[in-house]
Amino acid sequence: MIEVQDIVKSFDGTQVLKGISTVFETGKTNLIIGQSGSGKTVFLKTLLGIHRHDSGRILFDGRVYSSLSKTEKRDLRTEIGMVFQGSALFDSMTVEENIAFPLRMFTNKSNKEIMLRVNEVIDRVKLIDANKKKPAEISGGMQKRVAIARAIVNNPKYLFCDEPNSGLDPKTAIVIDNLIQEITHEYGITTIINTHDMNSVLEIGEHIIFLKNGVLAWSGNHKEIIHTDNEDVVDFVYSSDLFNMVRDAIRHMDKKKTKKELKNREQE
Amino acid sequence: MIKSSLIHIGRYFLMLKEVFSRMTKWKIMKQLIFKEIDDLIIGSLGIVCFLSFFVGGVVAIQTALNLTNPLIPKYLIGFATRQSVILEFSPTFISIIMAGKMGSFITSSIGTMRVTEQIDALEVMGINSLNYLVFPKLIAVSLYPFVIGISMFLGILGGWFGGVMGNFVTSEQFIVGLQDTFIPFHVVYAFIKTAIFGFLLASIPAYFGYYMKGGALEVGKASTTAFVWTSVAIIVSNYILTSLLLSK
Protein backbone atom coordinates (compact mmCIF):
# COMPACT_ATOMS: atom_id res chain seq x y z
CA MET A 1 0.00 0.00 0.00
CA ILE A 2 1.22 3.49 -0.83
CA GLU A 3 -0.16 6.34 1.22
CA VAL A 4 0.22 9.89 -0.02
CA GLN A 5 -0.31 12.70 2.51
CA ASP A 6 -0.66 16.31 1.41
CA ILE A 7 2.06 16.26 -1.27
CA VAL A 8 3.18 19.64 -2.58
CA LYS A 9 5.66 20.09 -5.41
CA SER A 10 6.73 23.32 -7.13
CA PHE A 11 8.96 24.16 -10.07
CA ASP A 12 10.47 27.66 -10.23
CA GLY A 13 7.89 29.00 -7.79
CA THR A 14 4.90 27.47 -9.61
CA GLN A 15 2.97 24.86 -7.60
CA VAL A 16 2.35 21.81 -9.78
CA LEU A 17 1.03 19.52 -7.04
CA LYS A 18 -1.12 21.34 -4.51
CA GLY A 19 -1.53 19.06 -1.53
CA ILE A 20 -2.59 15.68 -2.89
CA SER A 21 -3.65 12.99 -0.42
CA THR A 22 -4.77 9.48 -1.36
CA VAL A 23 -4.19 5.79 -0.71
CA PHE A 24 -3.12 3.28 -3.37
CA GLU A 25 -4.13 -0.14 -2.15
CA THR A 26 -2.28 -3.41 -2.58
CA GLY A 27 -3.58 -5.85 -5.20
CA LYS A 28 -5.49 -3.15 -7.04
CA THR A 29 -4.91 -1.32 -10.30
CA ASN A 30 -4.82 2.33 -9.26
CA LEU A 31 -5.20 4.82 -12.11
CA ILE A 32 -4.14 8.46 -12.23
CA ILE A 33 -6.05 10.39 -14.87
CA GLY A 34 -6.28 14.02 -15.89
CA GLN A 35 -5.67 16.39 -18.75
CA SER A 36 -2.20 17.17 -20.06
CA GLY A 37 -0.54 19.58 -17.65
CA SER A 38 -2.69 18.47 -14.71
CA GLY A 39 0.38 17.18 -12.85
CA LYS A 40 0.00 13.42 -13.48
CA THR A 41 3.56 12.78 -14.60
CA VAL A 42 5.03 15.01 -11.89
CA PHE A 43 2.92 13.15 -9.33
CA LEU A 44 4.12 9.77 -10.61
CA LYS A 45 7.75 10.91 -10.70
CA THR A 46 7.40 12.33 -7.17
CA LEU A 47 6.08 8.97 -5.97
CA LEU A 48 9.06 7.31 -7.64
CA GLY A 49 11.49 9.70 -5.96
CA ILE A 50 12.70 11.16 -9.28
CA HIS A 51 11.34 14.55 -8.11
CA ARG A 52 11.77 15.53 -4.46
CA HIS A 53 8.50 16.83 -2.97
CA ASP A 54 8.46 20.17 -1.11
CA SER A 55 6.18 19.02 1.69
CA GLY A 56 3.91 16.14 2.66
CA ARG A 57 4.66 12.46 3.16
CA ILE A 58 4.75 9.34 1.00
CA LEU A 59 4.49 6.05 2.88
CA PHE A 60 5.41 2.74 1.27
CA ASP A 61 3.74 0.15 3.52
CA GLY A 62 4.28 2.45 6.48
CA ARG A 63 7.84 3.48 5.54
CA VAL A 64 8.06 7.27 5.18
CA TYR A 65 10.13 7.79 2.01
CA SER A 66 11.72 11.08 3.03
CA SER A 67 12.84 9.65 6.39
CA LEU A 68 14.65 6.67 4.86
CA SER A 69 18.45 6.56 4.75
CA LYS A 70 20.20 6.39 1.36
CA THR A 71 20.68 2.63 1.72
CA GLU A 72 17.05 2.12 2.71
CA LYS A 73 15.92 4.21 -0.27
CA ARG A 74 18.11 2.10 -2.56
CA ASP A 75 16.63 -1.09 -1.06
CA LEU A 76 13.13 0.30 -1.53
CA ARG A 77 13.88 1.02 -5.18
CA THR A 78 14.66 -2.64 -5.75
CA GLU A 79 11.05 -3.31 -4.68
CA ILE A 80 9.74 -1.02 -7.43
CA GLY A 81 9.06 -2.03 -11.03
CA MET A 82 8.48 0.64 -13.63
CA VAL A 83 6.99 0.51 -17.11
CA PHE A 84 7.89 3.70 -18.95
CA GLN A 85 5.81 5.41 -21.62
CA GLY A 86 8.38 4.65 -24.31
CA SER A 87 9.29 1.30 -22.68
CA ALA A 88 12.84 2.61 -21.92
CA LEU A 89 14.46 -0.68 -22.90
CA PHE A 90 18.24 -0.67 -23.17
CA ASP A 91 19.02 -0.48 -26.90
CA SER A 92 22.34 -2.25 -26.64
CA MET A 93 20.88 -5.31 -24.95
CA THR A 94 18.73 -8.15 -26.27
CA VAL A 95 15.21 -8.77 -24.92
CA GLU A 96 16.57 -11.50 -22.65
CA GLU A 97 19.39 -9.29 -21.34
CA ASN A 98 16.96 -6.43 -20.70
CA ILE A 99 14.73 -8.66 -18.60
CA ALA A 100 17.67 -10.23 -16.77
CA PHE A 101 19.21 -6.82 -16.00
CA PRO A 102 17.57 -6.19 -12.56
CA LEU A 103 18.44 -9.73 -11.46
CA ARG A 104 22.08 -9.38 -12.51
CA MET A 105 22.25 -6.01 -10.78
CA PHE A 106 20.59 -6.76 -7.48
CA THR A 107 20.81 -10.47 -6.82
CA ASN A 108 23.63 -12.96 -6.49
CA LYS A 109 21.77 -15.61 -8.46
CA SER A 110 23.70 -17.89 -10.79
CA ASN A 111 23.31 -17.50 -14.54
CA LYS A 112 21.18 -20.67 -14.61
CA GLU A 113 18.81 -19.35 -11.94
CA ILE A 114 18.57 -15.98 -13.70
CA MET A 115 17.72 -17.57 -17.03
CA LEU A 116 15.13 -19.78 -15.37
CA ARG A 117 13.36 -16.76 -13.89
CA VAL A 118 13.72 -14.79 -17.15
CA ASN A 119 12.08 -17.58 -19.12
CA GLU A 120 9.35 -17.80 -16.49
CA VAL A 121 8.38 -14.11 -16.92
CA ILE A 122 8.80 -14.33 -20.69
CA ASP A 123 6.19 -17.09 -20.65
CA ARG A 124 4.01 -15.05 -18.28
CA VAL A 125 3.90 -12.00 -20.56
CA LYS A 126 3.59 -14.27 -23.62
CA LEU A 127 6.65 -13.06 -25.50
CA ILE A 128 7.23 -15.45 -28.35
CA ASP A 129 10.49 -15.85 -30.31
CA ALA A 130 11.94 -12.55 -29.21
CA ASN A 131 14.60 -13.59 -26.66
CA LYS A 132 17.63 -12.85 -28.79
CA LYS A 133 16.25 -9.79 -30.57
CA LYS A 134 17.18 -6.18 -29.84
CA PRO A 135 14.35 -3.78 -28.81
CA ALA A 136 14.52 -2.01 -32.18
CA GLU A 137 13.71 -5.30 -33.93
CA ILE A 138 10.37 -5.91 -32.18
CA SER A 139 6.97 -4.18 -32.33
CA GLY A 140 5.69 -1.55 -29.87
CA GLY A 141 3.35 -4.04 -28.25
CA MET A 142 6.16 -6.53 -27.74
CA GLN A 143 8.39 -3.79 -26.35
CA LYS A 144 5.69 -3.07 -23.75
CA ARG A 145 5.59 -6.77 -22.84
CA VAL A 146 9.38 -6.76 -22.42
CA ALA A 147 9.10 -3.63 -20.24
CA ILE A 148 6.46 -5.35 -18.09
CA ALA A 149 8.58 -8.49 -17.88
CA ARG A 150 11.62 -6.43 -16.80
CA ALA A 151 9.48 -4.61 -14.22
CA ILE A 152 8.17 -7.80 -12.59
CA VAL A 153 11.22 -10.07 -12.92
CA ASN A 154 12.55 -9.15 -9.46
CA ASN A 155 9.14 -9.68 -7.79
CA PRO A 156 8.41 -6.02 -7.03
CA LYS A 157 5.96 -4.90 -4.37
CA TYR A 158 5.03 -1.79 -6.33
CA LEU A 159 4.49 -1.45 -10.07
CA PHE A 160 4.37 1.96 -11.72
CA CYS A 161 3.24 2.38 -15.33
CA ASP A 162 3.47 5.67 -17.20
CA GLU A 163 0.95 5.61 -20.03
CA PRO A 164 1.55 1.95 -20.87
CA ASN A 165 -0.84 2.10 -23.84
CA SER A 166 0.55 5.10 -25.64
CA GLY A 167 1.36 4.34 -29.27
CA LEU A 168 -0.45 1.00 -29.27
CA ASP A 169 -3.44 -0.05 -31.36
CA PRO A 170 -6.71 -0.51 -29.36
CA LYS A 171 -6.55 -4.30 -29.43
CA THR A 172 -2.95 -4.48 -28.17
CA ALA A 173 -3.76 -1.77 -25.61
CA ILE A 174 -6.51 -3.96 -24.12
CA VAL A 175 -4.15 -6.96 -24.04
CA ILE A 176 -1.52 -4.89 -22.17
CA ASP A 177 -4.17 -3.53 -19.74
CA ASN A 178 -5.42 -7.01 -18.97
CA LEU A 179 -1.88 -8.30 -18.55
CA ILE A 180 -1.09 -5.56 -16.01
CA GLN A 181 -4.31 -6.26 -14.11
CA GLU A 182 -3.73 -10.02 -14.07
CA ILE A 183 -0.18 -9.55 -12.81
CA THR A 184 -1.38 -7.12 -10.12
CA HIS A 185 -3.91 -9.64 -8.79
CA GLU A 186 -1.64 -12.66 -9.23
CA TYR A 187 1.39 -11.23 -7.40
CA GLY A 188 -0.51 -8.91 -4.99
CA ILE A 189 1.32 -5.81 -6.23
CA THR A 190 0.38 -2.18 -5.62
CA THR A 191 0.02 -0.96 -9.18
CA ILE A 192 -0.20 2.70 -10.14
CA ILE A 193 -0.95 3.57 -13.76
CA ASN A 194 -0.75 7.02 -15.26
CA THR A 195 -3.06 7.05 -18.26
CA HIS A 196 -5.02 9.05 -20.81
CA ASP A 197 -6.68 5.97 -22.21
CA MET A 198 -10.43 5.89 -21.48
CA ASN A 199 -10.66 2.19 -22.34
CA SER A 200 -8.20 1.53 -19.50
CA VAL A 201 -10.24 3.71 -17.15
CA LEU A 202 -13.44 1.78 -17.85
CA GLU A 203 -11.77 -1.66 -18.04
CA ILE A 204 -9.24 -1.85 -15.23
CA GLY A 205 -9.79 1.22 -13.03
CA GLU A 206 -10.26 -0.41 -9.63
CA HIS A 207 -9.25 2.88 -8.00
CA ILE A 208 -9.13 6.05 -10.05
CA ILE A 209 -7.95 9.50 -9.04
CA PHE A 210 -8.63 12.48 -11.26
CA LEU A 211 -6.16 15.38 -11.11
CA LYS A 212 -7.02 18.90 -12.19
CA ASN A 213 -4.43 21.68 -12.00
CA GLY A 214 -2.44 19.75 -9.42
CA VAL A 215 -5.43 19.08 -7.16
CA LEU A 216 -7.16 15.74 -6.58
CA ALA A 217 -10.57 16.66 -8.02
CA TRP A 218 -12.28 13.26 -7.82
CA SER A 219 -11.64 9.65 -6.84
CA GLY A 220 -13.61 6.47 -7.29
CA ASN A 221 -13.61 3.33 -9.43
CA HIS A 222 -14.60 2.35 -12.98
CA LYS A 223 -18.21 1.77 -11.93
CA GLU A 224 -18.53 5.04 -10.05
CA ILE A 225 -17.02 7.06 -12.88
CA ILE A 226 -20.02 6.15 -15.06
CA HIS A 227 -22.49 7.58 -12.57
CA THR A 228 -20.52 10.57 -11.35
CA ASP A 229 -21.91 14.04 -11.85
CA ASN A 230 -18.57 15.74 -11.19
CA GLU A 231 -18.41 18.20 -14.07
CA ASP A 232 -14.64 18.07 -14.46
CA VAL A 233 -14.60 14.30 -14.69
CA VAL A 234 -17.57 14.21 -17.07
CA ASP A 235 -15.94 16.89 -19.19
CA PHE A 236 -12.66 14.96 -19.34
CA VAL A 237 -13.78 11.35 -19.58
CA TYR A 238 -16.85 11.85 -21.76
CA SER A 239 -15.41 14.45 -24.10
CA SER A 240 -16.16 12.24 -27.11
CA ASP A 241 -19.67 11.44 -28.38
CA LEU A 242 -18.88 7.75 -28.42
CA PHE A 243 -18.03 7.61 -24.71
CA ASN A 244 -21.12 9.71 -23.97
CA MET A 245 -23.26 7.18 -25.80
CA VAL A 246 -21.58 4.30 -23.98
CA ARG A 247 -22.15 6.07 -20.67
CA ASP A 248 -25.82 6.69 -21.39
CA ALA A 249 -26.30 3.09 -22.47
CA ILE A 250 -24.63 1.74 -19.33
CA ARG A 251 -26.63 4.11 -17.11
CA HIS A 252 -29.83 3.04 -18.87
CA MET A 253 -28.96 -0.62 -18.41
CA ASP A 254 -28.08 -0.07 -14.74
CA LYS A 255 -31.41 1.72 -14.14
CA LYS A 256 -33.29 -1.14 -15.79
CA LYS A 257 -31.35 -3.65 -13.71
CA THR A 258 -32.12 -1.77 -10.48
CA LYS A 259 -35.82 -1.52 -11.34
CA LYS A 260 -35.91 -5.25 -12.10
CA GLU A 261 -34.17 -6.04 -8.82
CA LEU A 262 -36.66 -3.85 -6.89
CA LYS A 263 -39.57 -5.53 -8.64
CA ASN A 264 -38.17 -8.97 -7.81
CA ARG A 265 -37.74 -7.99 -4.16
CA GLU A 266 -41.33 -6.66 -4.00
CA GLN A 267 -42.63 -9.92 -5.48
CA GLU A 268 -40.63 -11.92 -2.94
CA MET B 1 26.71 34.23 -19.54
CA ILE B 2 29.25 34.15 -16.69
CA LYS B 3 26.59 32.87 -14.27
CA SER B 4 25.51 30.10 -16.62
CA SER B 5 29.16 29.11 -17.28
CA LEU B 6 29.80 28.91 -13.54
CA ILE B 7 26.67 26.79 -13.11
CA HIS B 8 27.92 24.41 -15.82
CA ILE B 9 31.39 24.19 -14.29
CA GLY B 10 29.96 23.56 -10.82
CA ARG B 11 27.58 20.91 -12.10
CA TYR B 12 30.40 19.28 -14.08
CA PHE B 13 32.48 18.81 -10.91
CA LEU B 14 29.44 17.57 -8.97
CA MET B 15 28.87 15.08 -11.77
CA LEU B 16 32.47 13.86 -11.45
CA LYS B 17 31.98 13.37 -7.70
CA GLU B 18 28.86 11.31 -8.36
CA VAL B 19 30.64 9.26 -11.07
CA PHE B 20 33.06 7.92 -8.47
CA SER B 21 30.44 7.15 -5.81
CA ARG B 22 28.02 4.20 -5.36
CA MET B 23 29.92 1.87 -7.65
CA THR B 24 28.13 -0.59 -9.91
CA LYS B 25 28.69 -4.30 -9.26
CA TRP B 26 32.18 -5.20 -10.53
CA LYS B 27 30.87 -8.17 -12.52
CA ILE B 28 28.71 -5.80 -14.60
CA MET B 29 31.23 -2.94 -14.64
CA LYS B 30 33.93 -5.21 -16.10
CA GLN B 31 31.73 -5.93 -19.13
CA LEU B 32 30.88 -2.26 -19.54
CA ILE B 33 34.56 -1.29 -19.49
CA PHE B 34 35.44 -3.82 -22.21
CA LYS B 35 32.54 -2.59 -24.31
CA GLU B 36 33.70 1.02 -23.96
CA ILE B 37 37.29 0.07 -24.82
CA ASP B 38 35.94 -1.52 -27.97
CA ASP B 39 33.73 1.46 -28.87
CA LEU B 40 36.02 4.32 -27.89
CA ILE B 41 39.58 3.03 -28.26
CA ILE B 42 39.56 0.18 -30.78
CA GLY B 43 36.87 1.97 -32.79
CA SER B 44 39.06 5.07 -33.10
CA LEU B 45 42.24 3.31 -34.22
CA GLY B 46 41.37 3.24 -37.93
CA ILE B 47 40.79 6.97 -38.36
CA VAL B 48 43.75 7.85 -36.09
CA CYS B 49 46.13 5.64 -38.09
CA PHE B 50 44.90 6.99 -41.40
CA LEU B 51 45.12 10.65 -40.36
CA SER B 52 48.46 10.33 -38.61
CA PHE B 53 50.20 8.66 -41.53
CA PHE B 54 49.03 11.19 -44.11
CA VAL B 55 49.41 14.30 -41.97
CA GLY B 56 52.93 13.14 -41.02
CA GLY B 57 53.67 12.87 -44.76
CA VAL B 58 52.28 16.35 -45.42
CA VAL B 59 54.34 17.85 -42.57
CA ALA B 60 57.51 16.37 -44.08
CA ILE B 61 56.66 17.57 -47.61
CA GLN B 62 55.70 21.08 -46.42
CA THR B 63 58.92 21.36 -44.41
CA ALA B 64 60.95 20.19 -47.42
CA LEU B 65 59.24 22.67 -49.75
CA ASN B 66 59.95 25.54 -47.37
CA LEU B 67 63.65 24.70 -46.91
CA THR B 68 64.79 26.68 -49.94
CA ASN B 69 68.11 27.83 -48.48
CA PRO B 70 70.83 25.28 -49.52
CA LEU B 71 72.69 26.00 -46.26
CA ILE B 72 69.94 24.44 -44.17
CA PRO B 73 70.64 20.70 -43.84
CA LYS B 74 68.06 18.27 -45.24
CA TYR B 75 67.96 16.23 -42.04
CA LEU B 76 65.89 19.07 -40.55
CA ILE B 77 62.93 17.55 -42.39
CA GLY B 78 63.12 14.53 -40.06
CA PHE B 79 63.71 16.78 -37.07
CA ALA B 80 60.71 19.03 -37.88
CA THR B 81 58.44 16.04 -38.52
CA ARG B 82 59.39 14.45 -35.21
CA GLN B 83 58.89 17.64 -33.21
CA SER B 84 55.59 18.54 -34.89
CA VAL B 85 54.14 15.06 -34.56
CA ILE B 86 55.27 14.32 -30.99
CA LEU B 87 54.70 17.73 -29.46
CA GLU B 88 51.47 18.89 -31.06
CA PHE B 89 49.98 16.94 -33.92
CA SER B 90 49.47 13.59 -32.21
CA PRO B 91 48.50 14.67 -28.70
CA THR B 92 46.58 17.88 -29.43
CA PHE B 93 45.19 17.76 -32.94
CA ILE B 94 44.27 14.10 -32.88
CA SER B 95 42.49 14.85 -29.57
CA ILE B 96 40.49 17.62 -31.21
CA ILE B 97 39.53 15.25 -34.01
CA MET B 98 38.61 12.70 -31.34
CA ALA B 99 36.45 15.36 -29.64
CA GLY B 100 34.38 15.19 -32.81
CA LYS B 101 34.42 11.43 -33.22
CA MET B 102 34.55 10.00 -29.71
CA GLY B 103 32.88 13.03 -28.08
CA SER B 104 29.84 13.13 -30.30
CA PHE B 105 29.44 9.37 -29.88
CA ILE B 106 29.46 9.75 -26.08
CA THR B 107 27.07 12.74 -26.06
CA SER B 108 24.63 11.23 -28.50
CA SER B 109 24.58 7.79 -26.88
CA ILE B 110 24.02 9.19 -23.36
CA GLY B 111 21.67 11.91 -24.69
CA THR B 112 19.55 9.32 -26.49
CA MET B 113 19.35 7.32 -23.28
CA ARG B 114 18.13 10.49 -21.54
CA VAL B 115 15.50 11.19 -24.23
CA THR B 116 14.21 7.62 -24.25
CA GLU B 117 14.01 7.52 -20.42
CA GLN B 118 16.66 4.80 -20.15
CA ILE B 119 18.54 6.93 -17.60
CA ASP B 120 15.32 7.35 -15.59
CA ALA B 121 14.89 3.57 -15.75
CA LEU B 122 18.36 3.09 -14.23
CA GLU B 123 17.64 5.65 -11.50
CA VAL B 124 14.25 4.12 -10.66
CA MET B 125 15.97 0.75 -10.26
CA GLY B 126 18.30 2.36 -7.71
CA ILE B 127 21.38 2.34 -9.93
CA ASN B 128 23.80 5.28 -9.89
CA SER B 129 23.35 6.10 -13.57
CA LEU B 130 26.39 8.41 -13.68
CA ASN B 131 28.65 5.69 -12.37
CA TYR B 132 27.07 3.10 -14.66
CA LEU B 133 27.37 5.26 -17.78
CA VAL B 134 30.41 7.50 -17.30
CA PHE B 135 32.86 5.54 -15.14
CA PRO B 136 33.51 2.80 -17.75
CA LYS B 137 34.19 5.50 -20.34
CA LEU B 138 36.73 7.20 -18.08
CA ILE B 139 38.50 3.88 -17.49
CA ALA B 140 38.43 3.09 -21.22
CA VAL B 141 40.04 6.43 -22.15
CA SER B 142 42.91 5.71 -19.78
CA LEU B 143 44.11 3.63 -22.77
CA TYR B 144 43.96 6.70 -24.99
CA PRO B 145 47.75 7.41 -24.65
CA PHE B 146 48.35 4.06 -26.43
CA VAL B 147 46.32 5.37 -29.38
CA ILE B 148 48.42 8.52 -29.41
CA GLY B 149 51.61 6.41 -29.18
CA ILE B 150 50.51 4.61 -32.36
CA SER B 151 49.65 7.98 -33.91
CA MET B 152 53.17 9.30 -33.16
CA PHE B 153 54.78 6.25 -34.73
CA LEU B 154 52.61 6.38 -37.84
CA GLY B 155 52.96 10.17 -38.15
CA ILE B 156 56.75 9.86 -38.24
CA LEU B 157 56.49 6.86 -40.59
CA GLY B 158 54.25 8.94 -42.87
CA GLY B 159 56.83 11.75 -42.73
CA TRP B 160 59.59 9.35 -43.73
CA PHE B 161 57.42 7.96 -46.52
CA GLY B 162 56.47 11.41 -47.84
CA GLY B 163 60.02 12.76 -47.59
CA VAL B 164 61.82 9.76 -49.06
CA MET B 165 59.26 8.82 -51.73
CA GLY B 166 59.04 12.44 -52.87
CA ASN B 167 62.85 12.58 -53.15
CA PHE B 168 63.04 15.49 -50.73
CA VAL B 169 65.39 13.70 -48.34
CA THR B 170 67.26 10.40 -48.14
CA SER B 171 66.27 7.78 -45.62
CA GLU B 172 69.58 8.24 -43.75
CA GLN B 173 69.18 12.02 -43.56
CA PHE B 174 65.61 11.64 -42.26
CA ILE B 175 66.73 9.20 -39.54
CA VAL B 176 69.62 11.51 -38.54
CA GLY B 177 67.05 14.31 -38.21
CA LEU B 178 64.82 12.11 -36.07
CA GLN B 179 67.69 11.46 -33.65
CA ASP B 180 68.98 15.04 -33.61
CA THR B 181 68.76 16.74 -30.16
CA PHE B 182 66.10 14.31 -29.05
CA ILE B 183 64.75 15.16 -25.59
CA PRO B 184 62.98 12.13 -24.07
CA PHE B 185 60.96 14.39 -21.76
CA HIS B 186 59.08 15.65 -24.82
CA VAL B 187 57.51 12.21 -25.16
CA VAL B 188 56.65 12.19 -21.44
CA TYR B 189 55.14 15.67 -21.84
CA ALA B 190 53.09 14.45 -24.80
CA PHE B 191 51.76 11.47 -22.84
CA ILE B 192 50.91 13.61 -19.77
CA LYS B 193 48.94 15.91 -22.07
CA THR B 194 47.27 12.95 -23.74
CA ALA B 195 46.13 11.43 -20.46
CA ILE B 196 44.51 14.72 -19.43
CA PHE B 197 42.95 15.24 -22.86
CA GLY B 198 41.57 11.70 -22.70
CA PHE B 199 39.83 12.50 -19.42
CA LEU B 200 38.36 15.69 -20.91
CA LEU B 201 37.34 13.78 -24.06
CA ALA B 202 35.19 11.39 -22.06
CA SER B 203 33.90 13.57 -19.24
CA ILE B 204 32.81 16.78 -21.06
CA PRO B 205 30.70 15.05 -23.75
CA ALA B 206 29.26 12.78 -21.04
CA TYR B 207 28.23 15.89 -19.09
CA PHE B 208 26.47 17.43 -22.09
CA GLY B 209 24.72 14.15 -22.92
CA TYR B 210 23.64 13.42 -19.37
CA TYR B 211 22.16 16.82 -18.58
CA MET B 212 20.53 17.48 -21.95
CA LYS B 213 16.82 18.20 -22.13
CA GLY B 214 14.43 17.80 -25.03
CA GLY B 215 14.23 15.44 -27.98
CA ALA B 216 16.21 14.18 -30.95
CA LEU B 217 17.03 17.68 -32.20
CA GLU B 218 18.52 18.61 -28.82
CA VAL B 219 20.69 15.47 -28.89
CA GLY B 220 22.28 16.84 -32.08
CA LYS B 221 22.68 20.28 -30.53
CA ALA B 222 24.21 18.78 -27.38
CA SER B 223 26.74 16.86 -29.52
CA THR B 224 27.79 20.06 -31.27
CA THR B 225 28.04 21.98 -27.98
CA ALA B 226 30.04 19.14 -26.46
CA PHE B 227 32.47 19.19 -29.40
CA VAL B 228 32.96 22.97 -29.08
CA TRP B 229 33.56 22.90 -25.32
CA THR B 230 35.77 19.82 -25.41
CA SER B 231 37.91 21.50 -28.08
CA VAL B 232 38.09 24.70 -26.00
CA ALA B 233 39.04 22.72 -22.89
CA ILE B 234 41.73 20.82 -24.81
CA ILE B 235 43.23 24.00 -26.28
CA VAL B 236 43.22 25.86 -22.96
CA SER B 237 44.65 22.94 -21.01
CA ASN B 238 47.25 22.47 -23.76
CA TYR B 239 48.38 26.04 -23.20
CA ILE B 240 48.49 25.63 -19.41
CA LEU B 241 50.28 22.25 -19.54
CA THR B 242 52.83 23.50 -22.06
CA SER B 243 53.55 26.52 -19.86
CA LEU B 244 53.88 24.33 -16.79
CA LEU B 245 55.88 21.46 -18.26
CA LEU B 246 58.11 23.04 -20.91
CA SER B 247 58.71 26.64 -19.81
CA LYS B 248 62.01 27.28 -18.09
Could you report the per-residue pLDDT of A100-139, keeping only the tens digit for each? 999 998 888 999 999 999 998 898 888 888 889 999 999 8
Distance CA B147, CA B90 (A): 9
pLDDT of residue A169: 83
pLDDT of residue A4: 93
pLDDT over 90 (residue B41): yes
- For residue A104, the chain B residues in CB contact (below 8 A) are 25, 27-28
Does the residue A262 lie in any domain? no
Distance CA A43, CA A163 (A): 13
pLDDT of residue B105: 95
pLDDT of residue A267: 77
User: What are the pLDDT digits (tens) for A177-208?
Assistant: 888 898 899 889 999 999 888 888 888 889 99
pLDDT over 80 (residue B49): yes
pLDDT of residue B2: 84
- Rank A82-91, A226-235, B103-112 by mean pLDDT and report only the highest: B103-112
pLDDT category at A236 given cuts 50, 70, 90 is confident
- For residue A89, the chain B residues in CB contact (below 8 A) are 118
Q: Cite the beta strand spans of chain A per DSSP E.
A: 2-11, 14-24, 29-34, 55-60, 63-64, 80-83, 158-162, 190-194, 207-212, 215-220
A104 touches chain B (CB under 8 A): yes
pLDDT of residue A49: 86
Distance CA A154, CA A42 (A): 25
pLDDT category at B115 given cuts 50, 70, 90 is very high
Residue span of the structural domain in which A70 resides: 2-222
Does the residue A238 lie in any domain? no
User: What are the pLDDT digits (tens) for B172-215?
Assistant: 999 999 998 889 999 999 999 999 999 999 999 999 999 999 88
pLDDT category at B247 given cuts 50, 70, 90 is confident
pLDDT (average), residues A239-243: 70
pLDDT over 80 (residue B92): yes
B213 touches chain A (CB under 8 A): no
pLDDT of residue A235: 79
Contact B227, B106 (CB under 8 A): no
Alpha helices in chain B (DSSP H): 2-19, 26-36, 43-66, 76-83, 94-115, 118-124, 129-140, 144-165, 171-179, 184-210, 216-246
pLDDT of residue B59: 94
Does the residue A191 lie in any domain? yes
pLDDT (average), residues B79-102: 94
- For residue B127, the chain A residues in CB contact (below 8 A) are 105
Interface contact A50-B120, CB threshold 8 A: yes
The tally of domains found in chain A comes to 1
Does the residue A54 lie in any domain? yes
pLDDT category at A98 given cuts 50, 70, 90 is very high
A194: domain CATH number?
3.40.50.300
The domains of chain B are located at 29-239
Interface contact B126-A73, CB threshold 8 A: yes
Among residues A102, A84, A14, A99, which one has the least CA distance to residue A44?
A: A84
Interface contact B126-A85, CB threshold 8 A: no
- For residue B112, the chain A residues in CB contact (below 8 A) are 91
Does the residue A14 lie in any domain? yes
Distance CA A28, CA A1 (A): 9
Distance CA B166, CA B122 (A): 57
* Identity of the amino acid at B190: A
